[in-house]
Amino acid sequence: MKKFLIGIMIVVLPTSIFGIGGIGLQIGQGSVTIGATEDARALGLGITANMTTTEFSNPLSVGLHVYIDAIPFIDLEADINLVWQKYEFGFNNPAEIGPYEFVWGSASTYFTVRKKILGLGIPFLAKANLFYGGGYNQHMVTPLMTIDLMEEMMGGDLGADPTNITDKELIDFLDNNKLETSGFHIQAGLQFKVLILDTFLFYRHTFAEDLIPGEKAFGSINLRIGYGI
């Protein structure tokens, strides 16, 4: 039995302890709150158009990651994440529509240079690294509904009848008005590897305009579980 276990370690360890990289799943949760909004526009004759949105917070994310740690001094990684959170909006002028339940979301790509701070090893079983890093990110974002977007959808006339607008038209309109933005990020955390299972737990702070409504930066906690190669 002892010889059998040693044989398994000899086969597996070259792809884990001395691996060149890895690939796997990533899940996370943002640490941010987007407050409820209420916007009014005077239409004349004492009539106003009103748009309201509900508060939402701590959006979830899921995605994929890949990394290379065969380069001396630094490691390279990339991850693609889908982020989403539900909210509601309503409109009246004074004809009323809603509240509608919609999803604010983004598709984000992060490119990161990572460096090990401290390595810890458990002979024959595992290794752990404390790391930090930073890099560049890109995003495609579904906009939060605003009274300006509603005016555009209604052909520039907020006094028009909104009850003829269908749910599909609203979805298509927001989809066609996605925003594109980019920025930078910093992160730090722990990498823990047992045989070929590679796990990362890290905090990331993202700086990007127009990504989170009303915010220029936000933090997130992320967990990766993957396969070391």
pLDDT for residue 122: 61
3-class secondary structure, 95: coil
Q: Match 């990504």 to its residue by tokens.
A: 211
Query: Taking Cα atoms as reference points, which of 86, 81, 78 lies closest to residue 61?
Result: 81
pTM, full prediction: 0.83
What is the pLDDT at residue 108?
97
Contacts of 122 (CB under 8 A, 6+ apart): 128
Element (H, E) at 221: strand 215-228
Domains of the chain: 2-228 (2.40.160.20)
In this prediction, residue 3 carries a pLDDT of 43
**8 A C-beta contact, residue 76 and residue 55:** no
- Taking a C-beta distance cutoff of 8 angstroms, is the pair 223, 199 a contact? yes
Q: Going residue by residue through the chain (229 aa), what tens digit of pLDDT does each one get?
A: 434 333 433 333 333 344 588 899 999 999 989 999 999 999 888 899 999 999 999 999 999 999 998 788 889 999 999 999 999 999 999 999 989 998 899 999 999 999 988 776 666 556 788 999 999 999 999 999 999 999 999 989 999 999 988 888 988 898 899 999 999 999 999 988 777 788 899 999 999 998 988 889 999 999 999 987 7
Is the backbone of residue 134 left (phi > 0), alpha (psi -120 to 50) or beta? beta
Write down the pLDDT at residue 121: 67
